Chains A and B, each alone.
Chain A
Amino acid sequence: MLTIGMGVLLILLGYFLGAAFDSAIAGLVIAILVWAILSLIGYFQGDSILLSMSRAKKIGRDDHPRLYNVVEEMKIASGLEKMPDIYIIDDPALNAFATGRDPNRASVAITSGLLQKLNRDELQGVIAHEISHIKNRDVLLMAMCSILLGTIVILAWYGSRLLIFSSMTGSRRSSSSGGGGQAQIIILIVSLIFMILAPIMAQLIYFAISRKREYLADASAALYTRYPEGLASALEKLGTSTGQLKSANKATAPMYIVNPFRKKGMRASDLTSTHPPISERIRILRAMAGASFNDYDQVYRQVHGGKGVIPAASIAAETVPITTTKLEGEAGEPNEVQRARETSDVMWRLSNYNTITCDCGAKLRVPPTFKERQIKCPHCGRTHQV
């Protein structure tokens, strides 16, 4: 619904822009053309642009077995047909995102900071949220919406400047004669107002869509893991950190699990955020009586009042119990220090560093440019073969 609203906005903008320059149809055509070109680029190159912009590194099963396993578990739980690619972003900020234009060509990325901060259940919650974005096709939806928004902003910007410029120099052709002059002025004013309002309205619609999809992804994550507490407690950890992700930008913001630009103590329940406030997401997850969409929707309605956030078609009446006992013991669970070591090992290896563990316990990181055959441990003096 909201997406259609944005499209209508674009068409209207193009129309009025054109009308101000004597040809409404030409304006329309230009608007749609710009949108189509940007969409094609976004559709075919969006994910690789996003991943390379965030300097994400692809990992395999052996690089980080736990992360790989968790992603595979969620792939199974969601019924996704193809295993998504997994990327790690070397950044201490806590965040994660999903990308890819369709469920068969998708990737999930997580920052190294988040990877070492979360325990297995929390990681599962976060990955489930990202897989939900893939499964619900939010990635494509949000990409198309942000391109729509971008087009509107660009057109309004250039349009308003052109309009001001041409009316100042008075070079605008007057195609009307007699009583047409007054109508011309009215059209001009309407166009100007529209050019100012359209980007703002588009932005608000865009934020509303984004927030809605975030709630839906949270609900799906709870359904897939049957364990809302995992995601809730992960969000709690995410909420306490305020580090901004260096490689994120405004266009890619809705892809992330939490808003990468949030400031400390920001309560962004208002209209101008891509994400719902974390505290509210946690509150809903913790208040769920079961793990089904229905349970999520009920709590959401209690918190917000009015309409629910889940599309009525996907709400089933059956009850889905929350898993209270986990099959895995806590025994094999690495603590935060171990996870930090593990993650830094992976990051070193991904940058082609060779790690040698000396008998004295020291770890030698041998850079790929190191050419000699042997290396001496600086701690105890043993020599190692490279």
Chain B
Amino acid sequence: MPIAAWVVIGVVVVLLIIFLTIYNGLVRLRNQVKNSWAQIDVQLKRRYDLIPNLVETAKGYMKHERETLEAVTKARNLAQQASSAGAGERAKAEGELSSVLSRLLAVVENYPDLKANQNFLALQEELASTENKISFSRQFYNDSVLRYNNQTQMFPSNIVASMTGFKASEFFEVPLAAEREAPKVSFT
């Protein structure tokens, strides 16, 4: 066989290997995006489950905070309804829920009896941690989306991505205004 044919075969094989490597990398990133989305979902569901318990425990103590408690319950139900909607709408509802919850946890300070309740303290720790887990899983999700989107848009992986139908993913952005309402905590 002439040398030229070998060269062509060699080039094709090399191109094929490069193609497969990029393709596998894209699949890995897309799966990571999916997994991290599922992780957010787990934590949001956990929050839906925790809130009724928390409200129930707090009700007996917080006579003057009926409105706050109702707002929390309402925001929770709205968020649960929005869970089947797209990422944008969902993020808005969840951001709202986070902000009313932090308002509730801030006024707890005024109720020493409630703060002494072991059951409530355990719930509060769970809820605070779930809030953290939500924001950490969101953070990881957004990092994954960024990495994945970069791969689908940058040369040369964008060629493979457009050939095999990898599309950019949506970020999970909580409206910043809602988050900034959280009480300021000083660390001194």
- Measuring CB to CB, which residues of chain A are less than 8 angstroms from any residue of chain B? 65-66, 69-70, 72-74, 76-79, 121, 224, 226, 229, 233, 318, 325-332
The answer to whether the Cβ of B51 comes within 8 Å of any Cβ in the partner chain is no
Contact status B108-A325, CB under 8 Å: no
Query: Which of A79, A121, A327 lies in contact with B187, CB distance below 8 A?
Result: A121
List of B residues within 8 angstroms of A332 by Cβ: 105, 108, 115, 121, 124-125, 128
CA distance A327 to B137 in the complex (A): 14
Binds A, one of B16-24, B81-89, B154-162, B177-185: B177-185
A193 → B minimal CB distance (Å) = 47
B54 → A minimal CB distance (Å) = 11
CA distance A73 to B136 in the complex (A): 7
Query: Which of A72, A76, A78, A329 lies in contact with B105, CB distance below 8 A?
Result: A329
List of B residues within 8 angstroms of A224 by Cβ: 136
23 contacts between A and B (CB under 8 A): A65-B122, A69-B126, A69-B129, A69-B132, A72-B133, A73-B136, A76-B43, A76-B136, A76-B140, A77-B139, A318-B146, A325-B179, A325-B183, A327-B182, A328-B102, A328-B185, A329-B108, A331-B108, A331-B115, A331-B124, A332-B108, A332-B121, A332-B128
A313 → B minimal CB distance (Å) = 13
Contact status A79-B32, CB under 8 Å: yes
List of B residues within 8 angstroms of A70 by Cβ: 129
Q: B56-79 vs A: 1/0 string, CB under 8 Å?
A: 000000000000000000000000
Beyond contacts A65-B129, A79-B36, A79-B144: 7 other A-B pairs, Cβ-Cβ < 8 A, are A66-B125, A76-B39, A77-B136, A77-B139, A325-B185, A328-B128, A329-B106
- Measuring CB to CB, which residues of chain B are less than 8 angstroms from any residue of chain A? 32, 36, 39, 43, 98, 102, 105-106, 108-109, 115, 121-122, 124-126, 128-129, 131-133, 135-137, 139-140, 143-144, 146, 179-180, 182-185, 187
Query: Which of A78, A328, A331 lies in contact with B132, CB distance below 8 A?
Result: A328
CA distance A330 to B108 in the complex (A): 10
List of A residues within 8 angstroms of B98 by Cβ: 327
CA distance A329 to B129 in the complex (A): 11
B84 → A minimal CB distance (Å) = 23
CA distance A328 to B121 in the complex (A): 13
Interface of B: prevailing SS:
helix
List of B residues within 8 angstroms of A66 by Cβ: 125, 129
* Closest residue on chain A to residue B120 by CB atoms: A332
Query: Which of A72, A325, A327, A330 lies in contact with B131, CB distance below 8 A?
Result: A327
Leading 3 A-B pairs by shortest Cβ distance: A69-B129, A328-B128, A77-B136
CA distance A69 to B125 in the complex (A): 9
Contact status B140-A327, CB under 8 Å: no
CA distance A229 to B188 in the complex (A): 11
List of B residues within 8 angstroms of A331 by Cβ: 105-106, 108-109, 115, 124
List of B residues within 8 angstroms of A73 by Cβ: 129, 132-133, 136
B50 → A minimal CB distance (Å) = 12
CA distance A74 to B129 in the complex (A): 11
* Closest residue on chain A to residue B146 by CB atoms: A318
List of B residues within 8 angstroms of A329 by Cβ: 102, 105-106, 108-109, 128, 183, 185
Known: A328-B105, A331-B106, A332-B105. A76 touches B133 (CB 8 A): yes
Query: Which of B36, B109, B125, B179 lies in contact with A65, CB distance below 8 A?
Result: B125
Contact status B187-A229, CB under 8 Å: yes
CA distance A307 to B139 in the complex (A): 29
Contact status B137-A76, CB under 8 Å: yes
CA distance A382 to B102 in the complex (A): 43
